């Protein structure tokens, strides 16, 4: 096994045990003290540290990063033929992420009634999004796929009259339909397969065969939407923090 795997497992065996080190806290008011065992802070096998990291990530994003606007979760799965290549090629994962986010932004601009092809980047409408890479399915099978929490609308830069320093305006989108999803899936499918062909991970015949499949193997879901009224309801399964914990789970 690689050295980092052994380090992770040995760290987990020592996590939370006082005999492997601890910090002592003392209340200056009442004088009561307690000891807190050191944690391994691992990202692999320790459920306690994984759960803490998941909760901290979700709380930080909900409290300090994502504006008070509606948020939608987008999930993309790719054909099994491509998942193995995504598993050990970070550049392929980055390419799929860029393509997916670009096509989501294009769709949101259409649904918001604005143009996404402005030649000047400074006046182009943009989405806000955070992506999470998941490497396994529910049965711990290798299943590389993406979860994206994106604003359910686009931001328009401040008008020139505001000197370019004013806050951007948020434009909400009309409801996303199955027709929208079908068009998005087809555009993503063609762009991803083209990237794999240009990267010499698929030859021309394999790419043509995948484009000819009756069932494309690409699946995009956008059914989960967090409305503004539900966003900050504590412990509610449709709150933003609940969704972010789900996306950031180990």
Please state the separation of Cα 209 from the chain's center in Å. Answer: 30
Residue 175 belongs to a domain: yes
Q: Are both 22 and 126 inside the same structural domain? A: no
Residue 144 belongs to a domain: yes
If you average pLDDT over residues 145-166, what whole number do you get? 82
Q: Are both 97 and 192 inside the same structural domain? A: yes
**pLDDT score, position 115:** 80
Residue 62's alpha-carbon distances to 55, 59, 69, in angstroms, are: 11, 5, 11
Residue 106 belongs to a domain: yes
Q: Are both 32 and 74 inside the same structural domain? A: no
Residue 244 belongs to a domain: no
Residue 59 belongs to a domain: no
Q: Are both 29 and 129 inside the same structural domain? A: no
The whole-angstrom separation of Cα 189 and Cα 151 is: 23
Domain carrying residue 219:
69-227
**pLDDT score, position 163:** 54
What are the helix (H) ranges across 1-89? 3-14, 47-60, 80-87
CB of 70 within 8 A of CB of 226? yes
Q: Are both 75 and 161 inside the same structural domain? A: yes
Q: Are both 73 and 18 inside the same structural domain? A: no
- Select the more confidently predicted residue: 221 or 161: 221
Nearest CA to 69 among 180, 150, 125, 176? 150
Structure tokens at 79: 């054909």
pLDDT tens per residue across span 194-219: 999 999 999 999 999 999 998 889 99
Q: Are both 23 and 102 inside the same structural domain? A: no
Q: Are both 194 and 80 inside the same structural domain? A: yes
pLDDT tens per residue across span 142-153: 899 999 999 999
Q: Are both 159 and 203 inside the same structural domain? A: yes
**Number of domains forming the structure of the chain:** 2
Residue 153 belongs to a domain: yes
Residue 236 belongs to a domain: no
Nearest CA to 185 among 173, 196, 174, 177? 177
């Amino acid at each position: 096994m690689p050295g980092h795997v052994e380090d992770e497992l040995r760290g987990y065996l020592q996590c939370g045990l006082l005999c492997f080190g601890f910090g002592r806290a003392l209340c200056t008011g009442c004088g009561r003290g307690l000891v807190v065992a050191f944690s391994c802070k691992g990202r692999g096998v320790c459920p306690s540290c994984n759960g803490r990291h998941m909760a901290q990530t979700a709380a930080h994003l909900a409290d300090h990063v994502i504006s008070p606007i509606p948020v939608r979760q987008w999930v993309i799965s790719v054909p099994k033929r491509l998942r193995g290549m995504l598993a050990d090629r970070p550049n392929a994962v980055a390419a799929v992420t860029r393509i997916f986010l670009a096509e989501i932004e294009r769709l949101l601009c259409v649904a918001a009634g604005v143009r996404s092809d402005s030649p000047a980047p400074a006046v182009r409408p943009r989405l806000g999004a955070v992506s999470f890479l998941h490497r396994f399915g529910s049965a711990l099978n290798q299943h590389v796929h993406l979860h994206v929490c994106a604003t359910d609308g686009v931001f328009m830069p401040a008008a020139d009259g505001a000197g370019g320093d004013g806050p951007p305006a948020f434009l909400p989108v009309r409801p996303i339909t199955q027709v929208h999803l079908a068009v998005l899936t087809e555009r993503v499918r063609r762009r991803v397969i083209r990237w794999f062909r240009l990267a010499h991970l698929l030859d021309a015949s394999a790419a043509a065969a995948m484009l000819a499949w009756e069932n494309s193997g690409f699946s995009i879901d956008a059914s989960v939407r967090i409305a503004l009224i539900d966003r900050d309801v504590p412990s509610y399964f449709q709150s933003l923090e609940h969704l972010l914990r789900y996306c950031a789970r180990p």
